[in-house]
């Protein structure tokens, strides 16, 4: 491969990455990027990257920060917005390719080959030269984790698909699962966030698909399974099992076809399987729209054992490089790109920012959230808005019937209007398109009906307050009690039943005191709680006195 003159790129690499040179393939004549010199060499202090220049230099950017002290996660909203809200991409549909899995299994290593492809996809030799160190997302050999939280490449690639439409492609790297510093909550959170925000999730595994790998995946996909019970949709899109260091090519050949056969066997639900094993496989099938598997050979002993290995192709086995040339275009070639969708709608770069903000809030609590809480967060807001709108229609209509400036209306007419307007409000609620399914929405319709009944009870009280007869009910009741006690006291005293006469006099005195107190409360506005209690007692006494007859009298006279 002949090297051409060095060409200055509009976006220089980030400090710590390697400076890229534009070279020309001697056979094809196609320009591609070559990584040859370390940016750290002869690097002056004036050239150091600052926050204002971060978008000028292609580099990995941390968007989800992992706090090890409290095992919580934080979204760097500013960094994410700088990447996805650029004017030329923010309204394009987005393709998000994420790599997740156990730590120290080569996720960042794989992503750097994806970067080489994206920068040189038109070249047959996109994989690079034999002596080019591998740069991009930070990676290294060893047994300690390298990536924490979630990182994305800050250069979003604009790709034209075969149908002529342009899409934005974002590459995402995730913190490795199950290291010595991460809790199960940490692992589940990172995997769930990356899966819900990606259109293709590459599940990076070593040597085989073990049963515990599937069980861990079941934990993460529980979010989707529970959500499906109410929306009847698969919540995630594409899951690609990537089996590294595959050692059984004599059973299933390397690549996609061998992986497909292997995955079908591994995820097959058999009658003689334990119910738990069957459920794991059903969960995976039910949570992803598309499942795939790629079998990748071991890259060679130099890669695994040489502490100074820096990604040069000369140190990697030819078999691995051959399959790598098949794998990366399978994920990133324009005709194979999978656009991100949520609830059946395409997601733009601008939309993805909002979804990240919404999802991270859910995971910032002390406990791992309920698996369907992402659906609930959206569906509840959607249904509550519909409830509020329908209730507002009912209240405004009832104000026109018996509002503050309206005259008293007969209770039977008020009830009839209430039932008619309640039906209108319920129809309005049902007409609004809502998330969550019928069973979920039914709970909010019940809530709407309960709120309407509560509001109606207030309208009844307000309407009764306009009734002169109703307003006089308390003093009339107290006066009636006083009169009755006066008569009974006189009669019992005349026949010698002095004890009863004394009791009647006490009740009469209490009624007189209550009447005076009630009058003072109504006049002064003070001690309203006492006035309300007297009204309630009088109301009870009044209703005990032939309620039907009194109600009929009220209706006929008003």
Statement: the pTM of the whole predicted model exceeds 0.85: no
In this prediction, residue 21 carries a pLDDT of 37
In this predicted structure, the answer to whether residue 53 has a pLDDT above a threshold of 70 is no
- The token duo for 151 is 């990182």
Which CATH number applies to 378-464? 1.20.58.420
DSSP class of residue 40?
T
- The token duo for 390 is 């329908």
Q: For residues 170 and 156, what is the distance between their CA atoms, to the nearest angstrom?
A: 5
Q: Are 195 and 236 spatial neighbours (Cβ–Cβ below 8 Å)?
A: yes
In this predicted structure, the answer to whether residue 385 has a pLDDT above a threshold of 50 is yes
In this prediction, residue 226 carries a pLDDT of 45
Three-state DSSP string of 162-181: CCCCEEEEEEEEECCECCCC
Which residue is listed with tokens 């080959």? 113
Tens digits of per-residue pLDDT, 309-320? 776 887 788 888
In this predicted structure, the answer to whether residue 15 has a pLDDT above a threshold of 80 is no
Give the closest residue to 191 by CA, choosing from 103, 67, 276: 103
Superfamily of domain 18-371: P-loop containing nucleotide triphosphate hydrolases (3.40.50.300)
Sign for the CA dihedral angle at 229, 230, 233, 237 comes to negative
10 Å CB burial of residue 485 (0-12, 13-18, 19+) is buried
Tens digits of per-residue pLDDT, 539-554? 777 666 644 444 444 4
Tens digits of per-residue pLDDT, 470-525? 666 777 787 788 888 878 878 887 787 888 888 888 888 887 888 787 777 766 66
Q: Which residues of 28-37 are buried (b: 16+ CB within 10 A; e: fewer)?
A: eeeebbbbbe
Q: Which residues of 77-89 are buried (b: 16+ CB within 10 A; e: fewer)?
A: eebbbbbbeeeeb
């Amino acid at each position: 491969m002949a090297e051409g003159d060095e060409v200055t790129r509009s976006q220089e690499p980030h400090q710590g990455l390697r400076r890229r040179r534009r070279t020309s393939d001697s056979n094809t004549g196609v320009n591609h990027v070559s990584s040859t010199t370390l940016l750290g060499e002869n690097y002056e202090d004036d050239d150091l990257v600052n926050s204002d220049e971060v978008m000028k230099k292609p580099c990995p950017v941390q968007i989800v920060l992992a706090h090890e002290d409290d095992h919580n996660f934080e979204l760097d909203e500013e960094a994410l917005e700088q990447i996805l809200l650029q004017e030329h991409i923010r309204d394009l549909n987005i393709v998000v390719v994420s790599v997740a899995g156990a730590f120290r299994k080569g996720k960042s290593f794989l992503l750097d080959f994806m970067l080489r492809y994206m920068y040189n996809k038109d070249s047959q030799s996109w994989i690079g030269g034999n002596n080019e160190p591998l740069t991009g997302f930070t990676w290294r050999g060893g047994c300690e984790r390298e990536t924490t939280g979630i990182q994305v490449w800050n250069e979003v690639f604009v790709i034209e698909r075969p149908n002529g439409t342009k899409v934005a492609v974002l590459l995402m790297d995730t913190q490795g699962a199950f290291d010595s510093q991460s809790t199960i909550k940490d692992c589940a959170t990172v995997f769930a966030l990356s899966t819900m925000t990606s259109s293709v999730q590459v599940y990076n595994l070593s040597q085989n698909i073990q049963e515990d790998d599937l069980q861990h995946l079941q934990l993460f996909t529980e979010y989707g399974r529970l959500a499906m019970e109410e929306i009847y949709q698969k919540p995630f899109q594409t899951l690609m099992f990537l089996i590294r260091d595959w050692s059984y090519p004599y059973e299933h050949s390397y690549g996609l076809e061998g992986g497909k056969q292997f995955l079908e066997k591994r995820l097959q639900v058999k009658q003689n399987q334990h119910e738990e094993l069957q459920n794991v496989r059903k969960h995976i099938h039910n949570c992803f729209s598309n499942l795939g598997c790629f079998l990748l050979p071991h890259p060679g002993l130099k890669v695994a054992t040489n502490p100074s290995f820096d990604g040069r192709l000369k140190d990697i086995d030819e078999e691995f490089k051959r399959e790598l040339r098949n794998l990366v275009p399978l994920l990133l070639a324009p005709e194979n790109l999978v656009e991100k969708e949520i609830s059946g709608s395409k997601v733009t770069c601008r939309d993805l920012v909002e979804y990240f903000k919404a999802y991270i809030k859910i995971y910032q609590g002390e406990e791992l959230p309920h698996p369907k809480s992402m659906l609930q967060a959206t569906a509840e807001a959607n249904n509550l808005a519909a409830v509020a709108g329908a209730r507002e229609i009912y209240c405004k209509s009832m104000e026109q019937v018996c509002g503050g400036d309206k005259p008293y209306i007969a209770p039977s007419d008020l009830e009839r209007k209430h039932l008619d307007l309640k039906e209108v409000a319920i129809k309005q609620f049902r007409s609004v398109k809502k998330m969550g399914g019928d069973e979920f929405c039914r709970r909010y319709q019940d809530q709407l009906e309960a709120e309407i009944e509560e509001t109606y009870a207030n309208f009844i009280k307000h309407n009764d307050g306009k009734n002169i007869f109703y307003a006089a009910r308390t003093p009339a009741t107290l006066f009636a009690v006083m009169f009755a006690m006066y008569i009974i006291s006189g009669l019992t005293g005349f026949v010698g039943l002095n004890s009863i006469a004394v009791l009647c006099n006490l009740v009469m005195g209490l009624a007189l005191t209550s009447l005076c107190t009630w009058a003072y409360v109504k006049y002064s506005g003070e001690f309203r709680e006492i006035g309300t209690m007297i009204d309630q007692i009088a109301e009870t006494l009044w209703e005990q006195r032939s309620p039907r007859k009194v109600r009929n009298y009220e209706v006929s006279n008003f």
